[in-house]
Structure 1
Amino acid sequence: MTISLHALSILSTFLVLVNIPQQSHAAWTATDVHAVRGLILSSATYDRLIRPSENINVNVSLSLLTINFLDVKTQTLSSTGWLTAEWEDKRLTWNAGTYPDVTHVYALDTEIWRPELFIDNSLADVSILDDDNVMFKITRDGVVEWKLPRIFTTFCNVDVTYYPFDTQTCVVEITSWAYSQDEISLNVTRNSVNTEDIKPHGEWTIISSSAEEKTLQETKENGVIETFAQIDFYIKMQRKSNYYISSVLLPVLLTSYLNNFVFILPVDSGEKVGFILTVLLALAVLLTLVSDSIPSTSINTSILSVYLAVTLCLGVVCCLLTVLVIKIYFKDPDTDITPRWRLLHDKVLAPLSCWTGCPCQCSREKTVAPSDNNNEMVVMNAEDENTETKSEQNCSNELKWTHLANVMDHFFLVVMFVITTISSITFMVALAAGGELNE
């Protein structure tokens, strides 16, 4: 009898230990979720066409995964990410004591109410944001979370003034379409765009982002102004300019200096006109290539396009000057040089170009003779002013059209080289400095 009582005691203790977990913990079951969904989504108590309250606060945030491309010519930004919206619907709550392990359930777009959101500056899909395959997460306190993945193709006002050192600010505009601001208020969840998971892009780098709450006003035919809530997500991107420095700027700079080498070619070679026309053709091709990558607008003018246009104009001037030099070079050698050309040579061409060849000199050379005492070189000046004046007159009388053409070639080489250098430095500094200030 004692052994039986002892065995019963052990058996009862074992049963108590086995039953304790079952009584203190109720596991999650699909039956409970089904019961919760039937409770909150009952057609008798819930109508998806009626908003939950008089005014609903919808918290919106934007997260980006990739920047696909920014087409500068069509001013189109393509990006991939998802839009997160949260709001509270008191009709979608259940008792935590009845279903303690069901913290949230999911519903489809056809089952619950949702705000009608619209991308105001969309270019690809001008429609209400929706997706029948995306589920809504509903918590037991009635908070609904909607994460909508999407490729955002939006308009971006591109400023190409400092191309290729430009910085662009694009915006994604989210607007409440059907409900006015008195019915739905759009609030930003965070003050910037979420870029934690973004992949690096080969051409653009995101340097900053921001979010701003705005309003959109619409005037009806009867004069009544209706206000809608709007959120603008700003994305500031900087172009990676290393590729453009080697493929655009460097060829433009080198080609611009090719204009000057036409004045080094001898006139007798017969290649001066052909050379300058080839350079002009190369500049025209570069100008066309750069213009094709820049939007056709007069709002913003690219400094690089202006520089190419100036370089093209300098090339045309070099071509005209080359024709002038060739014409002077092949004048009848028996024809005397007119006083105007002689004055231009003596006062402008020879002094400014520092031409040192006879018969035109930038400065009179000094006579040098060795010293008998210490084998050093000493400078011997002209005997008197009359001898120097006579030498200058003889030099001037010996001036021929061929010599004048050579002096003009040298003068134009110096002048165009200085102009090209000054214009190149000015435009390149303006591009680099403007890009830094814009950033």
Structure 2
Amino acid sequence: MEKLVVLFALYTLVAGQGGKSSPPAYTTALETALRTEIFTGYSHLQRPMKQVQVNIELTLLTVNDLNIKDQSLSVSAQLSMKWQDFRLMWDSSTTLSQDYTNIKFLFSNENYMWRPCIFIENSVQDLSVISNPNTPMRLNQQGFVQWSPAGIYMVNCESDITYYPLDYQTCDLKLTTSSYTTYEIRLQMVKNVVNLDFYTKNGEWELLSATGMQSDDKARGGESFSSLTFRFHLRRRPLFHVLNTMFPVALMALLIPLTFKLHVDSGEKIGYSLTVLLAYAVYLSVISENIPSTSVSVCYMSIYLAAVLGVGTISVLFVIIVINVFHTPVEKPIPKWTRRFISLLMKIFCWKGTSCHLKSNKTETVEKTPVTEFTKTPVMTSIDEVEAEDVEEETEMTWKLVAAVLDYLFFLIFMFVVLLSTVIFVSVIVLKYVTY
């Protein structure tokens, strides 16, 4: 009898365990039943809970364009958003009509499921809420919704043109909620670094870094709204602008002092100087068209071009002076101070046929020593001969010689000014570019 009781108990236990049916395998009918059950009475206009936490990650695909004149940045990016909707759970903790655990995910879109209302605050193209019905939402058993809409976003970027064309820019993409306040939706950063796994390089701009940060809540109409900021640090690639902007500018600047190497008799001296001046004025207008009309920051390139343009203008005035001196009538005497000044310059420049040694002050001391005709020493005789030579040189000086010496003087002065300004300009922007 006892054996029968034991056997009956074992049978009951085995039968009871066998009565637990395994979850049904996935079928489209099973998914349809699940959708019908969890979406019955569901409204996509109602948020899931009192405060929804939306985790956001930005995946940067490429930098399309950074227009410093329009002060706008265009990027192709994907915004990955994740939040939890408890109304759409079907795991083991839920009380549904049957076991749906073999269905791991469901897919829907924003027409049937709630989504956070988020827009790009500093957009210059579209200020509407981020929306894409063609991008499916991925829903798992725990009610977590993953939505990753992609798009081309154009935002305002306040450009710093100080070091153009070797400049660097910092641009922000600002996200904030619409309608839902901070107490209803809280935006959270998944990580502080933008995802660059799928990034394609831009030919003009080099991406130095891309980061994300939690911004201060935005106040609108007496309410606060959650906000995030993604920041991009960009640097212009140098090769194109070095070859097509900086190099031609430096070469044209060197043409200005060469004006004084052109002989007056050629008849092209004034025409050449005006042509160089005009070329620089045209180049300045071309550069101005590519930079924004702002007074917040001043472009060193514009300062350099304006300075060289001023030097070119002054050089035209000196060219006119040289031409007038050259064509001064021979009958007009050369003033004594002019003779002394030109003689000094000729000695400094070691002008052909002129001694490079300046007259020593000791000569005056010797001249003041009283001597007689009979007590002259050989030294005094030599001094008299030098003075005679000086007098002879002065008598041979002409206006054309004066013009030639002035030409050489102005050539050295303008070459020094142009080289100095060019070296300073290049050093400033290159040093900043390398050390940034």
TM above 0.5, one fold? yes
Q: What is the alpha-carbon distance in structure 2 between the residues aligned to residue 318 and residue 382 of structure 1?
A: 46
Q: 1:219 to 1:142 in 2, by over 3 A?
A: closer
**How many Å apart are 1:431 and its aligned residue?**
0.8
Q: How do 1:233-248 residues align onto structure 2 when only pairs under 5 Å count? A: 233-248=230-245
Distance in 2 separating the partners of 1:114 and 1:383:
109
Give the secondary-structure state (helix, strand or coil) at the position aligned to 1:86: strand
Matched position secondary structure for 1:396: helix
Give the Cα separation in 2 of the matches to 1:248 and 1:230.
40
1:416 is the counterpart of 2:407: no
**1:181 alignment partner AA:** T
Distance 2:380 2:242 in 1: 56
Q: Aligned AA for 1:432?
A: V
- Provide the secondary structure at the position in 2 that maps to 1:422: helix
Which residue number in structure 2 is paired with residue 150 of structure 1? 151
Q: Is 2:86 the partner of 1:85?
A: no
2:297 matched residue in structure 1: 300
Q: Which 4+ runs in 1 deviate beyond 6 A?
A: none
Q: Give 1:416's aligned amino acid.
A: F
Who is 1:363 aligned against?
Answer: 357
SS at match of 2:216: strand
Q: Which residue of 1 aligns with 2:135?
A: 134
Structure 2 residue aligned with 1:258: 255
* One-letter code aligned to 2:203: G
What are the residue-to-residue correspondences of 1:29-428 with 2, within 5 Å?
29-42=27-40, 44=41, 46-96=42-92, 98-218=99-219, 220=221, 225-347=222-344, 349-350=345-346, 354-358=349-353, 362-363=356-357, 384-428=382-426
The answer on whether the counterparts of 2:24 and 2:99 sit within 8 Å (CA) in structure 1 is: no
Partner Cα separation in structure 1 for residue 180 and residue 392 of structure 2 = 96
String of CA shifts for 1:217-262, please: whole Å, max 9, x gaps. Answer: 3353xxxx32111100001111111011111111111100001111
SS in 2 for 1:80: strand
Q: TM-score, normalised by structure 2?
A: 0.86
8 A Cα contact 2:186 2:226, kept in partner? yes
Distance in 1 separating the partners of 2:389 and 2:329: 25
> Percent identity between the aligned chains?
30
Tell me if structure 2 keeps the 8 A contact 1:106–1:135. Answer: yes
The answer to whether the 8 A contact 1:291-1:305 is kept is: yes
**C-alpha distance in structure 2 between counterparts of 1:106 and 1:214, whole Å:** 32
Q: Residue 6 of structure 1 aligns with which residue?
A: none
Query: What is the CA-CA distance between 1:166 and the residue it aligns to?
Result: 1.2
Q: 1:362 Cα shift?
A: 4.3
Q: Secondary structure at the match of 2:25?
A: coil
Deviation at 1:191, TM superposition (A): 0.7
The 10-residue stretch of structure 1 (423-432 or 128-137) with the greater mean CA deviation from structure 2: 128-137
Shift, 1:327, TM fit: 0.4
- For residue 351 of structure 1, report the CA deviation from its aligned partner: 5.1
Shift of 1:32: 1.6
In structure 1, what is the Cα distance between the partners aligned to 2:272 and 2:323? 14
Alpha-carbon offset, residue 339 of structure 1: 2.7
Question: How has the CA–CA distance of structure 1 residues 363 and 217 changed in structure 2, closer, same or farther, with 3 Å as cutoff?
Answer: same
CA contact (8 A) 2:23 2:102 kept: no
Three-state SS of the structure 1 residue aligned to 2:149 is strand
Q: How far apart are 1:95 and its partner, in Å?
A: 3.2
Asked if 2 retains the 8 angstrom alpha-carbon contact of 1:350 and 1:411, the reply is no
Deviation string, structure 1 residues 70-123 (Cα, Å, up to 9, x no partner)? 111101111112111111111110134801211110122121111100100111
State the AA in 2 paired with 1:74: D
What is the CA distance between 1:216 and its match in structure 2? 3.7
Change (3 A) 1:161 1:94: same
Q: Report how far residue 206 of structure 1 moved.
A: 0.8
Segments of structure 2 that go 5 or more residues without pairing to the other structure are 1-17, 93-97, 360-378
Where 1:256 maps in the other structure, the secondary structure is helix
Compute the displacement of 1:27 (Å). Answer: 3.1
**SS at structure 1 position matched to 2:158:** coil
1:247-286 superposed Cα distances (whole Å, 9 cap, x missing partner):
1111111100001111111111100011111111111121
Distance 1:344 1:414, change over 3 A: same
Q: Which amino acid aligns with 1:213?
A: Q
Contact 1:119/1:173, CA 8 A, preserved across alignment: yes
Residue 357 of structure 1: how far off its partner (Å): 2.6
* Aligned residue pair count: 393
Where structure 1 has 5 or more consecutive residues not aligned to the other structure, the ranges are: 1-19, 366-380
1:215 aligns to what SS in structure 2?
A: coil
- Rounded to whole Å, the distance in 2 between the matches of 1:183 and 1:74 is 36
- C-alpha distance in structure 1 between counterparts of 2:179 and 2:203, whole Å: 39
CA distance in structure 2 between the aligned counterparts of 1:382 and 1:123, rounded to whole angstroms: 88
Equivalent AA in structure 1 for residue 234 of structure 2: M
Question: Counterpart of 1:152 in 2: which secondary structure?
Answer: strand
Q: For 2:148, what is the secondary structure of its paired residue?
A: strand
How far apart, CA to CA, are the structure 1 residues paired with 2:84 and 2:391?
102
Write out per-residue CA displacement over residues 296-324 of structure 1, whole angstroms, 9 at most, x where no aligned residue: 11111111111111111111111111000
For residues 282 and 324 of structure 1, the distance between their equivalents in structure 2, rounded to whole angstroms, comes to 22
Q: Is this contact kept in 2: 1:173–1:230, CA < 8 A?
A: yes
- The Cα shift of 1:140 comes to 0.7
Q: Is the 8 A contact 2:23 2:100 kept in 1?
A: no
Deviations 1:16-41 (A, max 9, x none): xxxx9xx8684321112111211221
Contact 1:355/1:410 (8 A) holds in 2? no
